[in-house]
Amino acid sequence: MDKFIPYGRQWIDDADIEAVERVLRSGYLTQGPEIDKFEDSIKQSVGAKYCVAVSNATQALHMSVAALEIDDGSEGITTPVTFVASANCLITNGLVPVFADIDAQTYNISPNEIEKRITPKTKVIIPVDFAGQAVDIDAIKEIAEKRKLFIVEDAAHAIGSNYADGKPVGCCHKSDMTVFSFHPVKTITSGEGGAITTNNEVLYKKLLKLRTVGITKDKQELGQDPGPWYYEMQLLGGNNRMTDIQAALGRSQMSRLNSFKKRRREIVSMYNNAFHDKPGITVPYEENGVDSCFHLYVLQMDFDKIGKSRKQVMEELRQKGIGTQVHYIPVNSQPYYVGKYGEYSPKEYPVAESYYRKCLSIPLFPMMSDEEAEYVEKNIISVGDVYE
C-alpha cells in the first residue's frame, strides 16, 4: 500500500467544492442564508424543532451548559472516556465535573454509575454517544426526571445514529439539548463546526444570543426600541458563529450522510468478520436495536498476550502505512484535572481504566476501499503472531 491510511478522514467531492465556491461568489462570508439552510437540513434529518449551528462542538457544549444558567459550584456528571471538551464545559460554566464509570460492553457511561455519583449538588448529566453508539437514553432520562436534572447529550460522534427505540440521535425526545461536531474526522464535516439541537424554545432563544456574544436584535426580546441601531447584550457569550462557507460545506455533506453511514457500516462488518474470532481481540459491541453511524472502530487488544506494548503495535502499523489512535486517555487523569481536583483517582473508574489499557482505534472512514480495509485487517492480525 503506497498511500498512508489514517484512522479517520473527510470525504470532499466536487459538489462540496461547488457549494463552497457559490458562497465565496455570493457576497456572504460569515452568517448568511446558508446557516439557516444547514440548520434546516440537520433539523429535518434528526427530527428536532430547533437547531443552532456554531463554530465547533467544544463551544456548543459550553453554550449548552451556559444556557441552563446553573448556579456556580453545582455538579455535572459525565464519562471519563471522552474528549476533554465533554467535561471542560462544566468547568468553564463554574460547575464541578464528576465522572461516572463506563459500561464494559458499550463503553458508554453506565446509568448505574451515574446514580452512584448523584449528590444534592448535581444539576446536569452529559452523556456521550461514544464512537457513534447512542447511550441508554431511556435509563438516563429516568434518573434525570427523578432528580430534576438536565441532560446535555454530547453526540459529537453520533450524527446519523439511532437510539435503541429507533429515534434519531439529536431528536431531543429525552435530552434538553444535543451537540454535534463537524470536525473533519467526524461523520460529516464543515471544516470546523458544531450544532446544538433542542425542542425547547426558551433554550433555543438563549443559544441564539450565546452564539453572538450574548447579543439580541430581536424586537420581541428587547426591553426598549429606540431605533434601528439598537441591540441589547442580555447574556455573557462569546463569538461562536459558524461562517456561511462552513455551513454550505456542511449542508452539502449532510446530503451524503446516509451513504457515509452505509459505507462505514460495511467496513465495520468486514472488520467484525475478520477479527471476531481472533484471540486477544474484542470487536466493538453494538447494543440490540441501536443503529450506530460508527464514527470510530475501537478494538480492545490484549497487549500482554501479544507480547508487545501498544506503542510498539502503533509504531509497527505506522511503518506499514496504517494510522491508529487512542480514544481516549480518561479525562480524570489529565494533569489539569488532577491538579485542580486531586481526588479523581483512576481506581474509582476501573472499567474505564481497563478499557483505556487495551483500546486502539483503527482506520474507518467512508472513502476507504475494500482493498484498504483488507490491508488493515491483514496487518492487525499479523502484528501479533499469536493471532495466526
Ligand X SMILES: Cc1ncc(COP(=O)(O)O)c(C=O)c1O
User: Shortest Cβ distance from residue 86 to ligand X (Å)?
Assistant: 5
Choosing from 41, 56, 106, 162, the residue that interacts with ligand X (CB under 6 A) is: 56
Under the binding rule (CB under 6 A), the answer on residue 314 touching ligand X is: no
Sheet with strand 281-282: strands edge to edge: 281-282, 297-301, 359-362
CA 169 to CA 213: how far, in whole Å?
A: 28
Among residues 86, 190, 240, 246, the one that binds ligand X under rule CB under 6 A: 86
The residue within the footprint of ligand X, chosen from 5, 52, 57, 100 (CB under 6 A), is 57
Gap between the Cα atoms of 131 and 106, Å rounded: 9
Dihedral over Cα of 263, 130, 87, 54: its sign: positive
Nearer to ligand X, 65 or 128 (CB): 128
DSSP 156: T
In this structure, the strands spanning 96-99 and 122-126 are unpaired
Over the range 123-156, which residues count as b (16 or more CB within 10 Å of their CB) and which as e? bbbbbbbbbbbbbbbebbbebbeeeebbbbbbbb
User: Taking contact as CB under 6 A, which single stretch among the options 22-30, 51-59, 143-151, 268-276 is the one that binds ligand X?
Assistant: 51-59
Q: How far is the CB of 323 from ligand X (least distance, A)?
A: 16
Q: Choose the stretch contacting ligand X; rule: CB under 6 A; options: 53-61, 163-171, 196-204, 302-310.
A: 53-61
Does 82 bind ligand X (CB under 6 A)? Our answer is: yes
**Whose grid coordinates read 476507504?**
368
In whole angstroms, give the CA distance from residue 231 to residue 234.
Answer: 9
Do 130 and 156 touch, CB atoms closer than 8 A? no
Q: How many CA atoms lie within 13 A of 231 on its CB side?
A: 10
- From CA 161, how far away is CA 183, in angstroms rounded? 17
127-156 residues near ligand X, rule: CB under 6 A? 128, 154, 156
Going residue by residue from 165 to 204, which x/- string records binding to ligand X, judged by CB under 6 A? ----------------x-x----------x----------
Looking at the Cβ atoms of 238 and 321, the one nearer to ligand X is 238
Residue 58 engages ligand X in binding (rule: CB under 6 A): yes
Nearer to ligand X, 257 or 381 (CB): 257
Q: Which is nearer to ligand X, 128 or 383 (CB)?
A: 128
Q: Which residues contact 168 (CB under 8 A, 6 or more apart)?
A: 45, 46, 47, 160, 161, 162
d(CA 161, CA 181): 13
Of 157 and 263, nearer to ligand X (C-beta) is: 157
Smaller CB separation from ligand X, 56 or 379: 56
Nearest approach in angstroms of CB 11 to ligand X is: 18
Residue number with CB closer to ligand X (306 or 362): 362
Compute the least distance from the CB of residue 89 to ligand X, in Å.
Answer: 9
Interface residues with ligand X (CB under 6 A)? 56-58, 82-83, 85-86, 128, 154, 156-157, 181, 183, 194
